Chain A
Amino acid sequence: MTETLIAALFVFVLASFTGFEVINKVPPTLHTPLMSGSNAISGIAVLGAIVVSGERNTSLTVILGLIAVILATVNVVGGFLVTDRMLQMFKKKEAKA
């Protein structure tokens, strides 16, 4: 294994632990928003898609990359907006109570 890969594995494992620590003990009311919010974050694959489709020619790579950009952007934008819509409902209700 190369040094780059080892470093990347370190990042992966440490980030996973961070995730477990940060998200533990979420009240049930927020389960759905948490899921759709983190779902939007998984659209980060858009970065990889941008890098792959970065070349200035029309190869299959670029076409696949561009399709990936579209799909991931739907995931990102749809995910964040729908989460906001849900949380807005929670907010409104709290103000009334």
Chain B
Amino acid sequence: MTDFLPTGIQLTYLVAASLFILGLKKLGSPATARAGNVWAAVGMFLAIVATLLDRQVLNYEMILIAIAIGSVIGAVVAYKVAMTEMPQMVGLLNGLGGAASALVAVGEFWRLLGSGEPISLDSNISMLLDVLIGGVTFTGSFIAFAKLQGIMSGSPITFSLQQPFNASLLIGYVVGSGFLILDPGNLPIFLGIVVISLILGVMFVIPIGGGDMPVVISLLNSFSGLAAAAAGFVVMNNMLIISGALVGASGLILTQIMCKAMNRSLANVLFSAFGTGSGAAAGAAGGATDQTVHSIDAEEGAMMLGYARSVVIIPGYGMAVAQAQHAVRELADQLDRLGVEVKYAIHPVAGRMPGHMNVLLAEANVPYPQLYDMDDINPQFDQTDVALVIGANDVVNPAARHDSASPIYGMPILDVDRAKHTIVIKRGMSTGFAGVENELFYKDKTMMLFGSAKDMVAKLVSEVKQL
């Protein structure tokens, strides 16, 4: 596959790679983001056309049919998906990219076997890496998809001897790779490597719970890029290597941001099966049970909100699940009508993927300047009359600030307890993802509104209308 490619194709690749870099740069700023996406899409189009002109490519009809099928499916999915389902969508697309990359390695291996060409050490190692990264991305993303879609339970799945089992899989991969390098073209071992890689992907994601999904999704995003780069090494194509490296880097940056927002290391997120029966969580729960909770109804809640001067809304995953973003916007509009200043406080890991809340609020037409990041809003809670928490839990738990025994200790939180009053909309008293009792609910100035986010916000809207 190191055949000479005509200069024109390579120059087109150069243009396409530049378009990717410029497109990604533009994607980083709100004003230019849409143009950036278009630039990247044009780059992709050029790269695909150039590759079809490659003289090795003779099978035009079939390939064009395959591209047409893929385009139709992709377009239909992209237009049908609801904004609340965006995390699953991104997860699914990651998986497809990973699968495609892994298939490139398997196909190339098969071609080399059939042609009788000797398999060089370079391409052997490239294929092994491609199968591993692509395979893990493929099955890992599908498990993430199943968890987010609710096909599988979102809680961490662990079993005894899990770590030894994973370790033996890894050893199996390394030993198998060693054999394959000594004996290139050994089909059974190659297939074994493929199977091990696929199982590793499953094992990698099942112990990770729903609340850690922002980290997993961005990490898998990074992997899908690395898989494409590995496929680039297999067919020795610079375009794949460059694009894969770019995506790998961007995914890694997002992963870092997410980990930082939870004050946890990547290793801790991946291997700790957070929130499963740790002693600290049980202890915290025990200490809180004898405290009382102030429950109010929608009418009282509406009074508090309507007569406040400033209200900060804190949306969480519960708002996404209930699809309550439009109702929330309506409530904000009604409050605005009464002269209440409304702001939204967005925690970096609220929801199930990076930026999840921003997308939902954008769908509901919430004006961009009303959204505040954690660092900007926290100093303002002192001057806030009412903090309205909708479906968020761990990200507003004050225990993260002072209780060093709590599993979430040290995680940066939104300081809603510093507002004059806090209203929490919640289905019941169940704990959040981390399995930790939230002391915020027991504070004197915290009022609980029990009910589903959508119903409760709708009730608040109709009550506020009557003020």
Contact = CB atoms under 8 A, between A and B. Distances in A.
Contacts of B94: 39, 42
B359 A86 contact: yes
B289 to A, nearest CB: 36
B33 A50 contact: no
A88 B239 CA distance: 29
A77 to B, nearest CB: 3
A66 B250 contact: no
Contacts of B177: none
A62 B59 contact: yes
Contacts of A68: 99-101, 103-104, 107
A90 B358 CA distance: 9
A41 B243 CA distance: 7
| Dominant secondary structure of chain A at its interface with chain B | helix
Contacts of B40: 37, 40-41, 80
A18 B225 CA distance: 14
Contact of A42 (B81, B227, B234, B355): B227
- Which of B21, B89, B249, B363 has the most chain A CB atoms closer than 10 A to its own CB? B249
B318 interface: no
A16 B99 CA distance: 22
Contacts of A35: 90, 217-218, 221, 250-251, 254, 353-355
Contact of B62 (A44, A62, A87): A62
A65 B362 contact: no
Contacts of B122: 1-2, 4-5
B96 A38 contact: no
A50 to B, nearest CB: 5
Interface residues of B, number: 114
State which size class the interface on A falls in. 35 or more
A42 B247 contact: yes
Please classify the interface of chain B as helix (H, G, I), strand (E, B), loop, or mixed, using the class held by over half of its residues.
Answer: helix
B30 A30 contact: yes
Interface stretch (B71-79, B204-212, B263-271, B427-435): B71-79
Nearest to B28: A26
A42 B356 CA distance: 21
A71 B2 CA distance: 25
B104 A77 contact: no
A87 B37 contact: yes
B63 A75 contact: no
Contacts of B229: 12
Nearest to A5: B122
Given A23-B25, A68-B103, A69-B67, 15 more contacts: A8-B236, A16-B246, A32-B353, A38-B225, A40-B41, A41-B44, A42-B243, A45-B228, A47-B51, A47-B240, A53-B107, A71-B100, A81-B78, A83-B37, A92-B365
Interface of A: 1-2, 4-5, 8, 11-13, 15-20, 22-56, 59-62, 64-94, 96-97
